[in-house]
Chain A
Amino acid sequence: MTSYVLGQFTEEAALLDAARVLRADGHAGIDLHSPYPLHGADEALGLKRSTVPLVALVAGVVGAATGYLLQWYTAALAWPLNVGNRPPHSSPAFIPVTFELGVLFAALAIFLGLLVAYFRFPRVHHPVFEVEAFRSASIDALWLSAEVDGREAERVAGELRRMGALQVSIVAEAK
Chain B
Amino acid sequence: MSTAKKSLEEAHALEGPPVLLGRPDDRALTESLLAPVLGPTRRGFLLLLLAAMAGMGFWLISLGVTLFVGIGAWGNNIPVAWAYDITNFVWWIGIGHAGTLISAILLLFQQKWRTSINRFAEAMTLFAVAMAGLYPIIHLGRPWLFWWLIPYPSTTQLWPNFKSALPWDVFAISTYATVSFLFWYLGLIPDLATMRDAAKGRTHRIVYGILSFGWRGSARHWQHYRIGYLLLAGLSTPLVVSVHTIVSFDFAISQLPGWHTTIFPPYFVAGAIFSGFAMVVTLMIPARKLLGYGAVVTERHLDNMAKVILATGLMVSYGYVMEHFIAWYSGSEPELFAFLNRWEGHYRYIWFMQLFCNVVAPQVFWFPSMRRNTLVLFVVSILVNIGMWSERFVIIVVSLSRDFIPSSWANYSPTWVDWGLLFGSISTFGVLFLLFLRFLPAIPIFEVKELRRELEHQGHGARAERVAEGSK
Contact = CB atoms under 8 A, between A and B. Distances in A.
Interface of A is mostly: helix
Nearest to A140: B26
Nearest to A32: B219
A111 B182 contact: yes
A34 interface: yes
A104 interface: yes
B151 A123 contact: no
Interface residues of B, number: 63
B214 A121 contact: yes
B160 interface: yes
A125 B214 contact: yes
B209 to A, nearest CB: 5
B213 A137 contact: no
Which of A36, A81, A84 is the most central at the interface, judged by chain B CB atoms within 10 Å of its CB? A36
Interface in B149-190: 151, 157-164, 167-168, 171-172, 174-175, 178-179, 182-183, 185-186, 190
B207 to A, nearest CB: 11
B142 interface: no
A86 interface: yes
B219 A31 contact: yes
B223 interface: yes
A104 B218 CA distance: 28
Contacts of A107: 175, 178-179, 182-183, 232, 235
B453 interface: yes
Interface string B220-243: 111111111001100100110010
Interface in A41-71: 41-42, 45, 47, 50, 52-53, 56, 60, 67, 70-71
Q: Rank and list the top 7 A-B pairs by shortest CB-CB distance, nearest first.
A: A140-B26, A74-B159, A32-B219, A41-B219, A121-B213, A135-B197, A36-B450
17 contacts: A33-B219, A37-B225, A52-B228, A52-B231, A83-B161, A84-B163, A96-B172, A97-B162, A104-B174, A111-B186, A111-B232, A119-B224, A123-B213, A124-B210, A138-B190, A138-B193, A138-B194
